[in-house]
A and B are shown apart, each in its own frame.
Chain A
Amino acid sequence: MPHRTFLWFILPSLTAMILFIALPIVSVVIQSLHVEHEQVLVTVENCGPFGCTEETRVDRAATEALREAQPLGRFNGLGTYLDRRHLATAEVAEAWRSSETMGQFWGRLMNLPFYKALAFTLAYTFIVTPLVLVLGLAIALGVNGLPRLMRGPTIFFSLLPMIVTPLIGSLVLFWMIDADGVIGATLARLFDDPNLSLKASPTLTWITIFVYGVWHSAPFAFIVFYAGLQTVPEETLEAAMIDGANRWERIRYVVIPHLMPLAVFITLMQLMDNFRVFEPIVGFQAQASATSLSYIIYSDLRGDVQQFGSAAATSVLTILGVAILLAPVLVRTWRDFNRKRA
């Protein structure tokens, strides 16, 4: 295709991508480099149903004048990125200096909100993603082995966790693991410990969210693998059978290599999705035990004062995180592509 035609061909989607993806990211980056103006404070008398008090408030006229002069806010450079709520360079250096053991350093690091969220986010990503791949493949192979008549209904039921809205799915599970819920009560009876609570202990909360994540995403891997299974060449499988390969060997040496590109695709999607884990934390009200990068962005933007600069900095760090995570997979795909072309 001539370059000119190609350009016209992708122009609509390119425009949309620039408008709705590139420009917002640029605006977030700019926002993350700025902080609010200095607020001019004055003390005034406030009166209400409960009497009068002397309280501080923002002198609006003076603050407005500052804002007019610099509509973007004060330029802060990377200051927001380095403060305690993000990379916390000063606090990390201090913790490194004053800690005697690695354990102590780790404890102090986990006391900083960004690293605490990063730890959960990475743990979630690297535990849920492989489990989703393995489970998805297992379900796909299982369903593929079923008689044709039963496949339709089985596929429908296997897809249900993905169809259910994430928030609803996590809420349902949240109620089930309540001390009075069907899972919570059963576990308490099983372990003979009336105080066992999946919501109280951070470790159990993490495990619960991991289980939820696998439950929610496995159908995606399953349906992709199942589609791939329909294209496995019959001749190769028959040849393997004639060579005396058992079922496991056929899966290991024929099916899995054939499905490898799909596995890469699912890994890519899952890494991206899982790194942005958010809904289960809200659904399980787990913020006491588990926070993710997306959750701290959400928390910055809620409440009486919206903290855009801080949220923007965390967003940029999240984008960088996704880029770093995806880099190895993308490099590999790029090499494969070049090799095939050569």
Chain B
Amino acid sequence: MSFPRLTTLTAVATILGASAAMADCGIASGRVAILSNDFPALQAMAAAAAECASATVTVTANQTTEHRDIQVAALTANPAEYTSAVVANSSIVPLMNAGLIRPLDDLIAQYAPDLPQLNRITIDGQTMAVAFMANAQHLYLREDVLAQVGAEAPATYEEVLEVLAAIREAGIMEHPFAMNTGAGWNLGEEFVNMYLGHGGDLFEPGTANPSINNETGVATLEMLAALNAYANPDFLTFDSNATQALWESGQIAVGYMWGSRAAGILDAENSTPEITGATALAAAPTVGGGTVPASTLWWDGFTIAANISDEDAAATFQALMHGLRPEVITANNDAAVWLMPGFTPGASAEGVSATANAGARPYPMLPYAGLLHTALGNELAAFLQGQESAEQALADVEAAYIAAAREQGFLQ
């Protein structure tokens, strides 16, 4: 087995260290190989799952931010390179399309009969994944700056614009705002969030035909442009690392960032107590008179490969459930908004919880949503740079999507 990435080496090191403990997970034998994204919550899960390693059970993990690019190829092999792929709403779709993951109902009945319905991602009646954490983008607010301009926490994007104008007018900050608008996937995600917040639907119901070139689409783009007039002119290069750094260095007062960054933002590292102490997490705002927050809900969950033996599948299921047992969740309470027993929602979970409670919609689990997302990320930058009109940008997105969807067989 080859391990191309450094993160893997650290994962293997933890696994070797942990295997010395030889905890008993009740697994007789089998192979457990995890492919997942790379952030603290998943690292904790993989490290705990690795405790199941024994003379007859091998546990390895490849944790990389590039997991989506290799998962289909890796699970197509027979036997599959990884026995489990940790996925989210969008990345489960290609695995489903190719039939690379197995239904988990039997395994759940045998090893985790008490698993709540909440955690079961069921598609057409079959459980295909076990969801264990939730994520969403929401507002981060600097209460001290808001107090200086006498503003309350904004509940709508229209109010956000007023707050931003007040901060600029008071001369506190020239660029008080940031969101993840880096051209590519991040920018596409911001459009989807804002568009669903306006009450729009990305596709004509029941078909793969796009429906974004309309008034809602224009309103979405205009709001994005209005907000980013208050962002640093570099905003088309912003990813999560960039916006988190801006926040921690105190350069922005209103941010729209992922909930999974909250723990990192609120801890003492890379920031000052004045900034972390004044940081408040709030639900994603509504927009354009809409009733649901302009954000999409995401879950992370594990799947089990189809092309492996039943023995390996059972070993993997047990090891991963061991990695998600209440003690692990409690020990890593602030690393994520867990959907598992043992979780006590703390300060860092407030934003995601508030967004979910306010009724934000989940990111669409459609087989062609990824193609539209890519087209949005590639084509919208020209509008935000002021090179073309909103209508032209939306027409470009639809044209790019239609060409891609034809090639992939979703449209004729």
Q: Which residues of A contact B (CB under 8 A)?
A: 35-39, 41, 43-51, 53, 55-58, 60, 63-64, 74, 76, 80, 83-85, 91, 111, 113, 178-179, 194-195, 197, 199-200, 202, 284-289, 299, 301-307, 309-310
Contact = CB atoms under 8 A, between A and B. Distances in A.
8 contacts: A43-B206, A49-B134, A85-B404, A111-B382, A113-B378, A202-B385, A303-B185, A305-B367
A288 B400 contact: no
Contacts of A310: 404, 407
Interface string B189-215: 000000000000000001110000000
Contact of B121 (A48, A56, A299): A48
Given A48-B299, A64-B99, A287-B183, A39 B122 contact: no
Contacts of B412: 38
B259 interface: no
B263 to A, nearest CB: 20
Contacts of B93: 57, 304
B364 A288 contact: no
B406 interface: yes
Given A83-B403, A84-B400, 15 more contacts: A36-B409, A38-B409, A46-B365, A49-B119, A55-B366, A57-B93, A57-B123, A60-B99, A85-B403, A197-B232, A199-B233, A200-B234, A284-B237, A303-B370, A303-B373
Interface centre among A39, A53, A60 (most CB of B within 10 A): A39
A54 to B, nearest CB: 8
A57 B73 CA distance: 20
Contact of A83 (B98, B237, B361, B407): B407
Interface in B370-412: 370-371, 373-374, 378-379, 381-382, 384-385, 387-388, 392, 396, 399-400, 402-404, 406-410, 412
A8 B8 CA distance: 44
A76 B93 CA distance: 25
Contact of A307 (B96, B233, B408): B408
Interface centre among A45, A56, A286, A287 (most CB of B within 10 A): A56
Contacts of B297: 49-50
A315 B381 CA distance: 24
A185 to B, nearest CB: 13
Contacts of A55: 364-366
A301 B233 contact: no
B382 A48 contact: no
Interface string B222-245: 000000000011111101000000
Contacts of A302: 68-69
Contacts of B400: 84-85, 113
A341 to B, nearest CB: 48
Contact of B403 (A47, A84, A288): A84
Nearest to B92: A304
Interface string B280-295: 0000000000000000
A47 B121 contact: yes
